[in-house]
Homo-oligomer: A and B are copies of this chain.
Amino acid sequence: MKDAKMDNAQIFKALADRSRLRILRMLNIRPLCVCEIREILGLATSTVSQHLALLRHAGFIYDIKDNKWVDYHLNRQSNDTMVHSLLQVILSNALDDDIYKKDAAEVRTVDRNALCRL
């Protein structure tokens, strides 16, 4: 079942949060599971799950159940031109955000097998 087409303003609302922008930019490096994102952002699991649901409804990401974990992927081929263009803008301006470098480093070193014992 497909997500209903979203209002322009709702798409921007999905992006109007620092944590969600960080998530999108981290997913550009590689797909991540909820607990990896939780670890890097330092938020409660339930909060991260909420953020991911919001981004998914807006069409920016999708999830793939992989036995134990749920992997979240960037939706690079959105058929919504607004979503597609906005994703481009966000990713190409990642380096302007001071926290991005730190997040990127953590994405590369985080190990889901070590940390997912909440």
Contact = CB atoms under 8 A, between A and B. Distances in A.
Interface of A: 7-9, 12-13, 15-18, 21, 81-82, 85-86, 89-90, 92-93, 96-97
Interface of A is mostly: helix
Contact of A89 (B9, B86, B92): B86
Contacts of A93: 8, 81-82, 85
A8 B82 contact: no
23 contacts: A7-B18, A8-B21, A8-B90, A8-B93, A8-B97, A9-B15, A9-B16, A9-B17, A9-B18, A12-B12, A12-B16, A12-B17, A13-B16, A15-B16, A16-B16, A81-B93, A81-B96, A82-B89, A82-B96, A85-B89, A85-B92, A86-B86, A86-B89
Given A82-B96, A89-B86, A12 B15 contact: yes
